[in-house]
Amino acid sequence: MSGQMISDARVLALIEAYGADPAMFPDAERSGARARMTDHPERFAAALETARQMDALLGGMPEIATPGHLRSALIASAPQPAPVRKFSWKLPVWIPAGALASLTVGLFAGMSVAQPATTQDEQAEAAVYASLGFDTYTLDLEEEALQ
Amino acid sequence: MAFSSDLDRITRAAAGDPAAVSSLVDRYSSGVLALATRMLGDASEAEDVTQETFLRAWKALPGWEPRAKFSTWLHRVALNLCYDRLRKRREVTMEILPERTDPAMNPAELLDQSQRVRAVEDAISHLPERQAAALTLCALQGHTQAEAADIMDVSVEALESLLARARRTLRASLLERAAS
Protein backbone atom coordinates (compact mmCIF):
# COMPACT_ATOMS: atom_id res chain seq x y z
CA MET A 1 0.00 0.00 0.00
CA SER A 2 1.51 3.35 -0.98
CA GLY A 3 1.50 6.61 0.93
CA GLN A 4 -1.23 7.93 -1.31
CA MET A 5 -3.52 4.97 -0.73
CA ILE A 6 -3.67 5.06 3.07
CA SER A 7 -5.92 7.60 4.74
CA ASP A 8 -5.19 9.76 7.77
CA ALA A 9 -7.92 7.92 9.65
CA ARG A 10 -6.28 4.60 8.92
CA VAL A 11 -2.88 5.85 10.09
CA LEU A 12 -4.47 7.10 13.31
CA ALA A 13 -6.15 3.73 13.80
CA LEU A 14 -2.81 1.97 13.36
CA ILE A 15 -1.13 4.26 15.89
CA GLU A 16 -3.94 3.70 18.34
CA ALA A 17 -3.71 -0.08 18.03
CA TYR A 18 0.00 -0.73 17.59
CA GLY A 19 1.68 2.33 19.12
CA ALA A 20 3.96 4.99 17.75
CA ASP A 21 6.56 2.74 16.14
CA PRO A 22 5.63 1.88 12.54
CA ALA A 23 7.73 -1.28 12.87
CA MET A 24 4.82 -2.68 14.88
CA PHE A 25 2.30 -1.94 12.13
CA PRO A 26 1.10 -4.72 9.83
CA ASP A 27 3.61 -5.36 7.03
CA ALA A 28 1.22 -4.46 4.23
CA GLU A 29 0.49 -0.99 5.60
CA ARG A 30 3.78 -0.05 7.18
CA SER A 31 5.47 1.81 4.34
CA GLY A 32 2.30 3.65 3.35
CA ALA A 33 1.67 4.76 6.90
CA ARG A 34 5.27 5.80 7.35
CA ALA A 35 5.16 7.91 4.20
CA ARG A 36 1.92 9.55 5.30
CA MET A 37 3.37 10.35 8.71
CA THR A 38 6.48 11.84 7.11
CA ASP A 39 4.48 13.93 4.64
CA HIS A 40 2.03 15.28 7.23
CA PRO A 41 3.63 15.07 10.67
CA GLU A 42 1.34 17.71 12.17
CA ARG A 43 -1.72 15.53 11.58
CA PHE A 44 -0.37 12.71 13.73
CA ALA A 45 1.74 14.48 16.35
CA ALA A 46 -0.81 14.33 19.17
CA ALA A 47 -1.69 10.68 18.55
CA LEU A 48 1.98 9.77 18.36
CA GLU A 49 2.76 11.51 21.64
CA THR A 50 -0.02 9.67 23.47
CA ALA A 51 1.05 6.39 21.92
CA ARG A 52 4.70 6.98 22.88
CA GLN A 53 3.74 7.40 26.52
CA MET A 54 1.97 4.06 26.51
CA ASP A 55 4.80 2.42 24.55
CA ALA A 56 7.25 3.63 27.22
CA LEU A 57 5.13 2.14 29.99
CA LEU A 58 4.71 -1.18 28.22
CA GLY A 59 8.36 -1.26 27.19
CA GLY A 60 9.43 -0.80 30.81
CA MET A 61 7.73 -3.96 31.95
CA PRO A 62 10.19 -6.55 33.27
CA GLU A 63 10.72 -9.86 31.51
CA ILE A 64 9.20 -12.85 33.24
CA ALA A 65 11.56 -15.82 33.49
CA THR A 66 10.63 -19.36 34.48
CA PRO A 67 11.81 -19.96 38.06
CA GLY A 68 13.99 -23.02 38.64
CA HIS A 69 11.43 -24.94 40.69
CA LEU A 70 8.81 -24.53 37.96
CA ARG A 71 11.26 -25.59 35.25
CA SER A 72 12.08 -28.73 37.23
CA ALA A 73 8.41 -29.51 37.77
CA LEU A 74 7.62 -29.09 34.08
CA ILE A 75 10.45 -31.38 33.08
CA ALA A 76 9.50 -33.95 35.71
CA SER A 77 5.94 -34.05 34.37
CA ALA A 78 7.09 -34.93 30.86
CA PRO A 79 6.93 -38.38 29.29
CA GLN A 80 9.64 -40.67 30.61
CA PRO A 81 11.76 -42.79 28.30
CA ALA A 82 10.41 -46.30 27.81
CA PRO A 83 12.37 -48.63 30.13
CA VAL A 84 14.88 -50.83 28.31
CA ARG A 85 13.72 -54.46 28.80
CA LYS A 86 16.58 -56.69 29.69
CA PHE A 87 16.06 -60.20 28.30
CA SER A 88 15.98 -62.80 31.01
CA TRP A 89 14.96 -66.43 30.71
CA LYS A 90 12.36 -67.09 33.33
CA LEU A 91 11.40 -70.73 32.48
CA PRO A 92 13.35 -73.68 33.90
CA VAL A 93 16.42 -74.45 31.87
CA TRP A 94 15.31 -78.04 31.04
CA ILE A 95 12.51 -76.71 28.78
CA PRO A 96 14.73 -75.22 26.04
CA ALA A 97 17.20 -78.08 26.51
CA GLY A 98 14.41 -80.62 25.96
CA ALA A 99 13.17 -78.73 22.89
CA LEU A 100 16.66 -78.74 21.41
CA ALA A 101 17.08 -82.48 22.06
CA SER A 102 13.70 -83.23 20.39
CA LEU A 103 14.68 -81.18 17.36
CA THR A 104 17.99 -83.04 17.04
CA VAL A 105 16.35 -86.47 17.31
CA GLY A 106 13.67 -85.50 14.75
CA LEU A 107 16.22 -84.26 12.23
CA PHE A 108 18.35 -87.35 12.64
CA ALA A 109 15.37 -89.69 12.20
CA GLY A 110 14.12 -87.80 9.15
CA MET A 111 17.51 -87.92 7.45
CA SER A 112 17.84 -91.66 8.21
CA VAL A 113 14.58 -92.71 6.57
CA ALA A 114 14.64 -90.31 3.59
CA GLN A 115 15.21 -92.10 0.23
CA PRO A 116 17.19 -90.52 -2.56
CA ALA A 117 15.46 -89.66 -5.87
CA THR A 118 16.67 -91.56 -8.93
CA THR A 119 16.54 -89.14 -11.86
CA GLN A 120 16.67 -85.38 -12.26
CA ASP A 121 12.93 -85.18 -12.96
CA GLU A 122 12.19 -87.36 -10.00
CA GLN A 123 14.49 -85.26 -7.85
CA ALA A 124 12.68 -82.11 -8.91
CA GLU A 125 9.26 -83.64 -8.29
CA ALA A 126 10.47 -85.06 -4.99
CA ALA A 127 11.66 -81.60 -3.98
CA VAL A 128 8.25 -80.13 -4.86
CA TYR A 129 6.44 -82.79 -2.92
CA ALA A 130 8.88 -82.54 -0.06
CA SER A 131 8.32 -78.79 0.10
CA LEU A 132 4.60 -79.51 0.35
CA GLY A 133 5.23 -81.89 3.19
CA PHE A 134 5.03 -85.21 1.30
CA ASP A 135 7.84 -87.70 1.00
CA THR A 136 5.99 -90.68 -0.57
CA TYR A 137 6.35 -89.91 -4.27
CA THR A 138 9.41 -92.06 -4.89
CA LEU A 139 7.86 -94.92 -2.96
CA ASP A 140 4.81 -94.73 -5.23
CA LEU A 141 7.00 -94.86 -8.34
CA GLU A 142 8.76 -97.91 -7.07
CA GLU A 143 5.46 -99.63 -6.32
CA GLU A 144 4.22 -98.88 -9.86
CA ALA A 145 7.44 -100.34 -11.32
CA LEU A 146 7.03 -103.55 -9.32
CA GLN A 147 3.48 -103.96 -10.51
CA MET B 1 21.94 -31.05 21.57
CA ALA B 2 20.81 -29.35 18.39
CA PHE B 3 17.30 -29.84 17.11
CA SER B 4 16.34 -29.18 13.53
CA SER B 5 12.80 -27.96 14.32
CA ASP B 6 10.00 -28.00 16.85
CA LEU B 7 8.70 -31.14 15.18
CA ASP B 8 12.06 -32.76 15.86
CA ARG B 9 11.84 -31.69 19.52
CA ILE B 10 8.26 -32.92 19.77
CA THR B 11 9.03 -36.31 18.21
CA ARG B 12 11.97 -36.87 20.51
CA ALA B 13 10.18 -35.54 23.58
CA ALA B 14 7.28 -37.89 22.91
CA ALA B 15 9.77 -40.75 23.03
CA GLY B 16 11.01 -39.46 26.37
CA ASP B 17 14.24 -37.80 25.23
CA PRO B 18 15.18 -35.61 28.23
CA ALA B 19 17.12 -33.12 26.09
CA ALA B 20 14.11 -32.55 23.85
CA VAL B 21 11.84 -32.10 26.85
CA SER B 22 14.21 -29.55 28.39
CA SER B 23 14.47 -27.74 25.09
CA LEU B 24 10.69 -27.38 24.79
CA VAL B 25 10.45 -26.18 28.38
CA ASP B 26 13.28 -23.68 27.98
CA ARG B 27 11.92 -22.41 24.71
CA TYR B 28 8.30 -21.90 25.67
CA SER B 29 7.69 -21.93 29.41
CA SER B 30 8.62 -18.29 30.02
CA GLY B 31 6.22 -17.11 27.31
CA VAL B 32 3.40 -19.19 28.72
CA LEU B 33 4.19 -18.07 32.27
CA ALA B 34 4.35 -14.41 31.22
CA LEU B 35 1.04 -14.64 29.41
CA ALA B 36 -0.62 -16.26 32.42
CA THR B 37 0.97 -13.79 34.84
CA ARG B 38 -0.24 -10.78 32.86
CA MET B 39 -3.69 -12.26 32.39
CA LEU B 40 -4.22 -13.39 35.97
CA GLY B 41 -2.08 -10.94 37.93
CA ASP B 42 -1.12 -13.73 40.30
CA ALA B 43 2.24 -15.51 40.16
CA SER B 44 1.07 -18.67 41.89
CA GLU B 45 -1.97 -19.11 39.66
CA ALA B 46 0.19 -18.37 36.64
CA GLU B 47 2.54 -21.21 37.61
CA ASP B 48 -0.43 -23.55 37.98
CA VAL B 49 -1.63 -22.59 34.52
CA THR B 50 1.85 -23.13 33.10
CA GLN B 51 2.04 -26.61 34.64
CA GLU B 52 -1.40 -27.53 33.38
CA THR B 53 -0.53 -26.24 29.92
CA PHE B 54 2.61 -28.37 29.71
CA LEU B 55 0.82 -31.42 31.10
CA ARG B 56 -1.65 -31.12 28.24
CA ALA B 57 1.22 -30.64 25.83
CA TRP B 58 2.97 -33.81 26.99
CA LYS B 59 -0.26 -35.76 26.53
CA ALA B 60 -0.70 -34.34 23.04
CA LEU B 61 2.84 -35.07 21.84
CA PRO B 62 2.43 -38.70 20.69
CA GLY B 63 -0.37 -37.80 18.27
CA TRP B 64 1.02 -34.44 17.25
CA GLU B 65 -0.17 -33.19 13.87
CA PRO B 66 3.05 -32.12 12.10
CA ARG B 67 1.48 -29.08 10.45
CA ALA B 68 0.31 -27.55 13.72
CA LYS B 69 2.48 -24.84 15.25
CA PHE B 70 3.48 -25.86 18.74
CA SER B 71 3.95 -22.31 20.03
CA THR B 72 0.50 -21.21 18.86
CA TRP B 73 -1.14 -24.34 20.26
CA LEU B 74 0.60 -23.97 23.61
CA HIS B 75 -0.30 -20.31 24.02
CA ARG B 76 -3.88 -21.03 23.03
CA VAL B 77 -4.16 -23.73 25.69
CA ALA B 78 -2.67 -21.37 28.28
CA LEU B 79 -4.99 -18.57 27.26
CA ASN B 80 -8.07 -20.78 27.52
CA LEU B 81 -6.98 -21.95 30.96
CA CYS B 82 -6.62 -18.29 31.97
CA TYR B 83 -10.09 -17.51 30.61
CA ASP B 84 -11.49 -20.40 32.67
CA ARG B 85 -9.90 -19.10 35.84
CA LEU B 86 -11.01 -15.53 35.16
CA ARG B 87 -14.58 -16.72 34.63
CA LYS B 88 -14.49 -18.45 38.00
CA ARG B 89 -13.45 -15.18 39.56
CA ARG B 90 -16.26 -13.37 37.81
CA GLU B 91 -17.99 -12.35 41.04
CA VAL B 92 -15.59 -9.41 41.18
CA THR B 93 -16.50 -7.80 37.92
CA MET B 94 -14.24 -5.11 36.63
CA GLU B 95 -16.20 -2.32 35.15
CA ILE B 96 -14.62 -0.75 32.14
CA LEU B 97 -13.24 2.54 33.25
CA PRO B 98 -14.32 5.67 31.50
CA GLU B 99 -11.89 6.62 28.82
CA ARG B 100 -10.03 9.73 29.80
CA THR B 101 -8.06 10.97 26.89
CA ASP B 102 -6.63 14.18 28.21
CA PRO B 103 -3.43 14.43 26.18
CA ALA B 104 -1.88 16.75 28.72
CA MET B 105 -1.75 13.99 31.29
CA ASN B 106 1.01 11.45 31.09
CA PRO B 107 0.64 8.44 33.40
CA ALA B 108 4.36 7.78 33.26
CA GLU B 109 5.08 11.14 34.87
CA LEU B 110 2.54 10.65 37.62
CA LEU B 111 4.01 7.44 38.99
CA ASP B 112 7.52 6.46 39.98
CA GLN B 113 9.24 3.48 38.36
CA SER B 114 8.27 0.71 40.77
CA GLN B 115 4.76 2.06 41.17
CA ARG B 116 4.54 2.26 37.43
CA VAL B 117 5.43 -1.41 36.87
CA ARG B 118 3.04 -2.55 39.58
CA ALA B 119 0.30 -0.28 38.31
CA VAL B 120 0.69 -1.44 34.71
CA GLU B 121 0.74 -5.12 35.70
CA ASP B 122 -2.31 -4.65 37.86
CA ALA B 123 -4.13 -2.61 35.24
CA ILE B 124 -3.44 -5.19 32.51
CA SER B 125 -4.73 -8.02 34.69
CA HIS B 126 -7.92 -6.02 35.23
CA LEU B 127 -8.53 -5.32 31.56
CA PRO B 128 -11.37 -7.22 29.90
CA GLU B 129 -9.81 -10.61 29.26
CA ARG B 130 -9.56 -10.46 25.49
CA GLN B 131 -8.06 -6.98 25.61
CA ALA B 132 -5.50 -8.17 28.14
CA ALA B 133 -4.65 -11.14 25.94
CA ALA B 134 -4.25 -9.03 22.80
CA LEU B 135 -2.06 -6.46 24.54
CA THR B 136 0.10 -9.08 26.24
CA LEU B 137 0.65 -11.16 23.13
CA CYS B 138 1.42 -8.24 20.79
CA ALA B 139 2.83 -5.41 22.88
CA LEU B 140 4.61 -7.37 25.61
CA GLN B 141 5.54 -10.66 23.99
CA GLY B 142 6.19 -9.50 20.46
CA HIS B 143 3.93 -11.94 18.63
CA THR B 144 2.99 -10.84 15.14
CA GLN B 145 -0.59 -9.81 14.49
CA ALA B 146 -1.22 -13.07 12.63
CA GLU B 147 0.21 -15.22 15.44
CA ALA B 148 -1.71 -13.37 18.14
CA ALA B 149 -4.94 -13.55 16.15
CA ASP B 150 -4.38 -17.27 15.62
CA ILE B 151 -3.73 -17.88 19.32
CA MET B 152 -6.85 -15.93 20.25
CA ASP B 153 -8.88 -17.47 17.44
CA VAL B 154 -10.00 -14.06 16.14
CA SER B 155 -9.44 -12.18 12.90
CA VAL B 156 -6.57 -9.72 12.57
CA GLU B 157 -9.15 -6.92 12.33
CA ALA B 158 -10.74 -8.00 15.59
CA LEU B 159 -7.31 -8.19 17.19
CA GLU B 160 -6.56 -4.64 16.09
CA SER B 161 -9.78 -3.42 17.62
CA LEU B 162 -8.98 -5.21 20.88
CA LEU B 163 -5.52 -3.68 20.94
CA ALA B 164 -6.81 -0.15 20.44
CA ARG B 165 -9.41 -0.59 23.17
CA ALA B 166 -6.84 -2.16 25.47
CA ARG B 167 -4.48 0.75 25.13
CA ARG B 168 -7.25 3.28 25.72
CA THR B 169 -8.58 1.43 28.74
CA LEU B 170 -5.11 0.93 30.17
CA ARG B 171 -4.30 4.60 29.82
CA ALA B 172 -7.54 5.62 31.48
CA SER B 173 -6.95 3.15 34.29
CA LEU B 174 -3.42 4.38 34.93
CA LEU B 175 -4.50 8.00 34.94
CA GLU B 176 -7.22 7.10 37.40
CA ARG B 177 -4.70 5.41 39.70
CA ALA B 178 -2.25 8.28 39.41
CA ALA B 179 -4.93 10.81 40.22
CA SER B 180 -6.02 8.90 43.30
Q: What pLDDT, in 10s, does the model give residues B146-161?
A: 999 999 999 999 999 9
Distance from CA of A53 to the nearest CA of B (A): 7
Distance from CA of B70 to the nearest CA of A (A): 16
Judging contacts by C-beta atoms under 8 Å, the chain B residues touching residue A82 are 15-16
Judging contacts by C-beta atoms under 8 Å, the chain A residues touching residue B139 are 19, 24, 58
- pLDDT band (50, 70, 90) for residue A97: confident
- Using the predicted structure, report yes or no on whether residue A49 has a pLDDT greater than 50: yes
SS3 state of residue B112: coil
Given A64, A66, A79, which is nearest B14 (Cβ)? A79
- pLDDT band (50, 70, 90) for residue A98: confident
Contact A60 B116 (CB under 8 A): yes
pLDDT digits (tens, 9 = 90+) for A1-27: 444 589 999 999 999 999 999 999 999
pLDDT for B107 equals: 63
Does residue B40 contact residue B82 with C-beta atoms inside 8 Å? yes
Contact A74 B51 (CB under 8 A): yes
Residue of B nearest to A73 (CA): B51
Which pTM was predicted?
A: 0.72
Which secondary-structure segment (H or E) carries B133? Answer: helix B129-135
Minimum mean pLDDT range among A53-57, A71-75, A123-127, B63-67: A123-127
The span from the CA of B38 to the CA of B151, in Å, is 16
Among the listed residues B32, B71, B30, B27, the one whose alpha carbon sits nearest the alpha carbon of residue B52? B32
- pLDDT band (50, 70, 90) for residue B101: very low
Mean pLDDT value across residues A104-127: 69
Given A56, A58, A77, which is nearest B54 (Cβ)? A77
Amino acid at B109: E
Given B54, B61, B113, which is nearest A74 (Cβ)? B54
- Using the predicted structure, report yes or no on whether residue B113 has a pLDDT greater than 90: no
- The ipTM value here is 0.84
DSSP state of A66: P
Judging contacts by C-beta atoms under 8 Å, the chain A residues touching residue B37 are 64
Given A53, A75, A77, which is nearest B106 (Cβ)? A53
DSSP state of B105: -
